[in-house]
Structure formats: C-alpha cells, structure tokens
Structure 1
Amino acid sequence: MQPRPGTSNGIGVQATVPVLASLNLAETLRFYTARLGFAALLEMDNYLILQRDGCELHFWPCNDRHIAENTSCYVRGDTAALHADFTARGLQLAPPIVQPWGMKEMFVIDPHGNLLKFGEPA
C-alpha cells in the first residue's frame, strides 16, 4: 500500500533549512548572534551556518542585494517570547499580530534584506 501524499513511511524529509543570501558574512554573523540570539555552527570564507533552539539558517555570499531583498523564510516559534528577546537585544519591532489565516506572526528584515517571518498558530 502506498502512503498518501504528504506522508511517509518513516524515512525521507526530516527538516528544511533555508539558505539565505548574505552581502557580508561577517555582518550577517554579528546581526544574527547579537540581535536574534543565534550561535555560529560553521564560519567559512564562503559559507555560514547559524543555529538557535534547533533551528538552522545557512548563508552564502552574494553580491546582488536584489536576491536577498526577494528572499524569505518562515520560522515557527513562540512569537511573544521571541519578540521580547529580540527587542531586549535592541531591535525595533512591531508586536506579533494575528493574521486572517490563523497565525500569530511578526517579521524581521536582516541588514541585507532577507525577510524572516516568525509565526505560530493563533
């Protein structure tokens, strides 16, 4: 019997990991560690891996700001707790709001234009 679409037999997809553009990997590292509480897992001249609470974000060097400004990722988490943490770290953020699609969300735009949407079921 075949599994129905969107399910598996215990093998296959375990996680998704966004790979975002960075105009300057050192600047990306500083912003994500100081303002968003991530820690570096890997720092190379041409790649950066950051982690917070089991969530990984990867970054590649890119000279085209247009790419970063048209890239986003969705991160599931406790938006109230994240908002409190991020603002305590100096970010000026609007508070999370409940969207018509039933998610409580907030967003952060990094220094290169990548959009990070943080959300949880309302």
Structure 2
Amino acid sequence: MSARIDSTVPVLASLDIRESRDFYVDRLGFAERGMYDDYLIVVRDGAEIHFWLCEERRIAEHTSCYVRTAGTDALFAELTKAGLVLRPPVVQPWGMKELYVIDPHGNLLKFGEPA
C-alpha cells in the first residue's frame, strides 16, 4: 500500500503579516484561520494558504501559487467590486482560463479553470 497525499498548501512570503491578512480577508474573501507574529493561515472554500514572515521582497516577487476555481469570470467580478484593478481572465494555450492577482508583497496568484 502506498502513502496517500491528500492536499498541498502553499506557504507564501509576507513582508508584513497584518497587511497580508487584511488583503486576503478584506479583498480576496478569505477567512483568517490563525495569525501569529510571524505566520498567517487563511482559508476560502477548499483553499488554504499559509504565509511566513520574510524580510526580502524579491522572494515574494519570485513566488506564485495556482488556485483552481470553478468561475474565473465570477471571481473577477467579485474582486473588482472589492476594489482590485485586474485584467479580465484569459484563455491560455494549455486550455485553462486564468485570472491573475498580485498581492501587496509581490506573490502571484493564478486562479484557473478549464476553458
């Protein structure tokens, strides 16, 4: 019998834990699961993202996370209503319709669904 892997949880860099919490909760609709001096956990539907306190912006700016969604158009409408300035979702050559969000510290979130 092989070991089972149930899920993956990205751990992204945060230059300021409170600022990350406010962006992900207030703008992206996540809920705070736990916040500590140097660590943050947020959840939304079936997604969970963790953050570690980091002093080097270049680390966050070279990090991305792919999040599967069932509705990039609806998510685009929701996030722009929350005040984010985003490009509309685009269909990529690999068959995914994707919406891109860059958080305040440079982490790239790619929300995607089959086109």
If the length of structure 1 is used for normalisation, what is the TM-score?
A: 0.90
| Counterpart for residue 82 of structure 2 | 89
Corresponding position of 1:102: 95
Take 2:74 and 2:91, find their aligned partners in 1: how far apart are those partners?
Answer: 15
Residues 30-88 of structure 1, C-alpha deviations (whole Å, 9 max, x = no match): 11111100110001111100001120000000000010000000000021111111011
Give every structure 1 segment of 4 or more consecutive aligned residues whose post-TM-superposition deviation is greater than 3 Å. Answer: none
Aligned residues: 114
Q: Please give the alpha-carbon distance, in whole angstroms, between the structure 1 residues aligned to 2:80 and 2:43.
A: 19
CA distance in 2, matches of 1:81, 1:45: 34
Q: How far apart in 2 are the matches of 1:116 and 1:24?
A: 18
- 1:5 paired residue number: none
Q: Is 1:39 the counterpart of 2:26 in the alignment?
A: no
Higher radius of gyration, 1 or 2 = 1
Using the size of structure 2 for normalisation, the TM-score is 0.95
Point out where structure 1 has 5 or more consecutive residues left out of the alignment.
1-7
User: How many Å separate the matches in 1 of 2:90 and 2:59?
Assistant: 27
